[in-house]
Structure 1
């Protein structure tokens, strides 16, 4: 199935792989996270003059950055897209106003995913799940990745028990194993019996997004409201984008202790995408939580195939 890609000055923008691909030579260039995000923002508003403040907020999302971060990222994009920094045919600096991406150099093209896929990606996990974890000792947070599919571990025969091992010790080991198995079975049964009900929160607030909190009977709804309060601005931003692309989104989340189980589905006219994430220590750094949600949503949105014309 064909997918729709942005093209700028004969460079195809492959957002999922974080790179741009030359349509003639096949050369591939890697872009940094914020360079790619800046390029995506300019593409979506091609022909519009973005102020420095707008770009800083849209790309770095309330992070504290240096005065040269934006100009340096603009310079890197110009170099990658083979744009002359003096003539500025593609990315233009508008004096005392901001920056503009010239729409004459932008277009959409459809390509088979196999034609665009980066060979290096073949060795990567198919669907990384972004997590929040704590740095040991500093109380901070960082993002890490884990495979959603269990890793298959080859069976290894247990080492032979030394003959000198006392039979009493072996008996204790067997009893401990049995008790542990019974306790694990009881725990799994208790969790299996817990029924979660989907409760829609903030209905009719967003035109193209429906939010559902998965809750057990009798559980307080304060945590669900806490999640919404942290993400409501991000939901507004996502809603604006998917509305323009005629995509609808359902979000389901469930809170267990320090983790947030967050699943969303995107439904377009010709394709569907879904992603499940487990986000640990999600309360610690709200800005990183918002960055993660909007980044992963945009990634899946860009993976959606466009309809073939008859």
Structure 2
């Protein structure tokens, strides 16, 4: 299947989640952004809760509720719900799966830019002023 994604994720942008058609943007918390990046990398496959905890929180000790809340906030941002699970599916006792072609990870080079503020690569010199 080669459908166009509904959302684009710009991890380093101020508002990271951008709807492809409406161009509306949403801000995500750091942990939400990281969880979504991991789900995107493995879209269509179940990502275990253990893997998400290790990659997002590392050695920090957090409750399982932290991940549950993070997924809930991602669902809200995507216009999904725990009941419908149109985009993120909960696989009980295992983990979560992001359906394919929902969110596309966009590299920073592809971020739309304003060409009017191009940086010069020319070296510059400061002239010494007589005192």
TM-score of the aligned structures, taking structure 1 as reference length = 0.32
Corresponding residue pairs, total: 110
Q: Which residue of 2 aligns with 1:114?
A: 112
Select the structure with the greater relative contact order (CA < 8 A; seq sep ≥ 6).
2
Unaligned runs of 5+ in 1: 1-6, 123-310
Unaligned runs of 5+ in 2: 118-131
The structure-2 alpha-carbon separation of the partners of 1:106 and 1:28, relative to structure 1 and needing over 3 Å to count, comes to closer
Report the alpha carbon displacement of residue 79 of structure 1 after superposing the two structures with TM: 0.6
TM-score of the aligned structures, taking structure 2 as reference length = 0.72
Q: Which residue of 2 aligns with 1:51?
A: 48
- The alignment yields a C-alpha RMSD, in angstroms, of 2.6
Structure whose residues are more often helix by fraction: 1
Report the alpha carbon displacement of residue 84 of structure 1 after superposing the two structures with TM: 2.6
Is 1:65 paired with 2:62?
yes
Report the alpha carbon displacement of residue 62 of structure 1 after superposing the two structures with TM: 1.6
Structure whose residues are more often strand by fraction: 1
Cα deviation digits, residues 214-259 of structure 1 (max 9, x gap): xxxxxxxxxxxxxxxxxxxxxxxxxxxxxxxxxxxxxxxxxxxxxx
Tell me, in whole angstroms, the C-alpha distance in 1 between the residues paired with 2:48 and 2:31.
17
Report the alpha carbon displacement of residue 24 of structure 1 after superposing the two structures with TM: 2.0
- For the pair shown, which has the larger CA radius of gyration, 1 or 2? 1
The structure-2 alpha-carbon separation of the partners of 1:29 and 1:55, relative to structure 1 and needing over 3 Å to count, comes to same
The structure-2 alpha-carbon separation of the partners of 1:63 and 1:17, relative to structure 1 and needing over 3 Å to count, comes to same
The structure-2 alpha-carbon separation of the partners of 1:104 and 1:114, relative to structure 1 and needing over 3 Å to count, comes to closer
Tell me, in whole angstroms, the C-alpha distance in 2 between the residues paired with 1:91 and 1:63.
25
